[in-house]
Structure 1
């Protein structure tokens, strides 16, 4: 993917950096792979007769010979990078890429002997840097129109030819990533992520839950974000920017990010779209919010995109907001997975072009979002089992969005929906395992009689072969599970269950019976997720039992007492109804 850097004025300074060790010694074997006049331009890294200063002077020579006014910034810099999973290209392949990129950009058309001068430098396995000067050798300036889109189109052709990861033509829906300087600043400050990403997530959550413009800004202020509103002369708000407390630049000024710079759908006009069409949401008890939201999400699944492209664009945008809020109020056991799903689905919620805001599916998704956001106070007490039905409905909705994107040939959005759907399915199975653990009643252990004088052989944790556990618990799926790449992870989970003192056969049979397994792509993976939920639920129950003694154990006060002295009598438990026989309490 070609990415154009800012134009500059210092050709030698840029070459020094590209041929140098880098900021953190990340550059390895810097060398030239192509130039405007191959093979006659010597490489400073390989020729004793050429220095970096000499190469910079040769590149800059046409700039000083321009017939008219020189450009303010004459250095043209483009980086072309492959995806991490792509194969390594040879120097010859990168040289061909560089020539085609310069042809597509208009810097140096094929067969033009008077074109601009350029060099391509490789100092890493996965990318090259192309440096050119914006001055033709015949004394004229180049005409660069649509240079980046043209280079992107060329990159798509190379992706097919070289068998690389295929990207989509830029539709301005991609996520806005933190810049290198922002990442380095976060590292220096000891932050877990750049400030831009924190603001993206915070503003998106506020926009998804808000019901009006005042509510939106109030939510941002409530979580500690600094808000700067841009006002028109007539007093109307035309835009906004946000900053995190303590985030300052070199001049000790607060660093504000406009909403549109955080994400294309976080500009003020796009944020206002969320409450353009009013919706009515009934007030429900926190215990019923999951069921009410589930009913609406299931009703919307068949309506998504039914009214055409514009309506579908509005539907998936509302679905993205719903996933964001669901991640905030979801049970703690699956909250991280839902947050990851919301992160992945963000690209799928943005579609190029206009959106219709009156679709039936959009209204149902917005109602579900408001139902969950109204019950945000119950986030810490959300019932994992009660949320299972809603999560299943959400999986269906995301799958519907994936199919709709595929039908519209939105490949990047369809892939994002697929990644989000996988994370949601994982959350569903973890929740199913937790539900099975909550309802579990262990089977009575069989008592075996031993002959007089016979010694009992102690059971050793992990002694039982786990393949035998499969044959007993899930005989129908045992053969497929043993051949599954996810079997080692499942075997580790089963060993942990046995080590915890539970019967792995009984536990595995219980979680397997909780939901059907026939539709699973990997039964071993699904059972691993369910055992994860099982272990978390059982661990939480054990912790709660150990840390929260019952009221009767502390004399009915509900308080924890200090260690009892040896030999001291314990508290006397009163029989039921004894409290009514006590005399009147003395007034103080």
Structure 2
């Protein structure tokens, strides 16, 4: 049996779907086969029962709970489907199965009179829908911790008892093989006893990933492990051939170390998978050299270009191997970005990387080209040096973060199409974390550009609007023009035009790098792409006359003589005003 959960916020909407024809007319004779008390009103059998009556009964505890506090997504919807080759199960059999599933999930534990309210609706093609509302009779939210794993274990028992096809391998492959391995009870208790937020297993997994991110080979990998206090050993067969690898934290407790094999950390941290990464390689660069100032901004711009290409790759070629490579490489990029970003940004970026681990694709060989490109971007970020988050580095950080948000959304869409709900939710969680840190970097430069855009002369603004309408499809252009971010984009296009670029060509190039429809602000995405592609400097506040007078006074006071005020003649001359439209130099 296969079972997948969904969460929602509309009980009546879910009931309308269950008692309707379904998306492909697969719902025949919908009726309740089991419920929390055995007396739920059933519109499928009782002509006087209505969907609203059933909704009110299911939502009873939710309404009482919401009188005191908010609760979003209170609806729990789980499909339980038999295999195509299984015999047709009776209503009585489905009733018994439903009771076991809701007990395993934590919705209505066996013998608990205060469990949640739920129903199981049977359809004609050998499956049921379990619909529950997640507030118990004692007005406590249901505890659904690891519900999927517990339901899977119960389904394995059900299959054996009822003589059904054993699909445990399929369930394990889909939900468990690719995701990080769970800590055991003893590990959790140890972490709690020592006052640590993470278990040793989790600390090792993150440390090994960071050591791998962009590493060119085993020597560099081992050195990075040692820097993080992680010991590494290779297990060998009697023949001397390697059979695996193990890791432990070097806490100074000789003889008491707890070793974890790579497979016990994550499916892609086994010795063969680690060697596979080294075989793929990573281009450039050598460790940073003196005089490499500004490199951290440059590598972030390049990483954003690589990220945009990765998103386009999934759109163009959504094969599993391509997605596996992109996900693995993106985690490396995020880990190195976390290590080289300002302190305030590291936590959210790390959370995004950890969330994306749950979107990994199991048992497939990653595409070498995509893996190499992303690993190279990670290596450049690592050796490009730390960024302080201001000026050009802040703008470059906002650019790569905007690209990573959209890539996470593309990954979420791919998993959703495959029916991988949990992986899709994890990708959306990663996007949420990235949006948070993006806002910290993007707020100031976008505000400066917005001010400039609103001050543009009307002919200049109209010219940029015309370029947008010619470069983008009508619906996309209309959305961008309606955004608050349009002024910032107009300012960027005017600046690029003044530097000798063709705004329409820049917009066509930026829009051609895909995935604008899912962006929170397509105007902002286009702004960063145009600035990156045309190599425009970071926006800085313009000094006012009062600022210049104050600066000059301070300079005279400090030196006792008149000096060139900061921000005037000491800087390069201002560029000339933009020429008339018919004389603008275009570069295509």
TM-score between the two structures when normalised by the length of structure 2: 0.48
The structure where helix makes up a greater share of residues is 2
What is the TM-score with the length of structure 1 in the denominator? 0.48
Q: Which of the two has higher C-alpha Rg? A: 1
